């Protein structure tokens, strides 16, 4: 079993593992999937393998559409 603090913390007793690691000054090389998920680092495997860029052309004057519920039939009259 790997001795990664973050990997152990991702499965059980999160607070205990993190407190012990802080107390004993353990270092963790963030290289596994669980560690990267906890740290918010994207993995370079699976769907994280691809880095695609798409330059979208912006239309300077987008089409104005009518509002869906901007109709008097959908309004509830206020009773005073």
Q: What is the pLDDT of residue 6?
A: 80
How many whole angstroms separate alpha carbon 65 and alpha carbon 80?
Answer: 33
Please spell the DSSP secondary structure of the chain, one letter per residue: ----HHHHHTTS-HHHHHHHHHHHT------SHHHHHHHTPPPSSGGGG------PPPPSSPPP---TT-SGGGPPPPP-
Confidence band, pLDDT 50/70/90 cuts, at residue 1: very low
Looking at per-residue confidence, does 80 or 38 come out higher?
38
In contact, 41 and 47? CB cutoff 8 Å? no
Q: Is the pLDDT of residue 2 over 70?
A: no
Domains of the chain: 1-49 (1.10.150.390)
The pLDDT tens digits for 4-44 are 888 777 787 888 888 888 888 888 888 777 788 888 887 77
């Amino acid at each position: 079993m790997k001795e990664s603090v973050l990997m152990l913390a991702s499965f059980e007793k999160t607070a205990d593992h993190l407190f012990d690691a802080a107390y004993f000054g353990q270092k963790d090389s963030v290289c596994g999937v669980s560690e990267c998920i906890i740290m918010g680092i994207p993995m370079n495997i699976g769907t994280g393998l691809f880095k695609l860029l798409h330059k979208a052309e912006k239309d300077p004057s987008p089409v104005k559409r009518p509002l869906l519920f901007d109709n008097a039939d959908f309004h509830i009259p206020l009773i005073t």
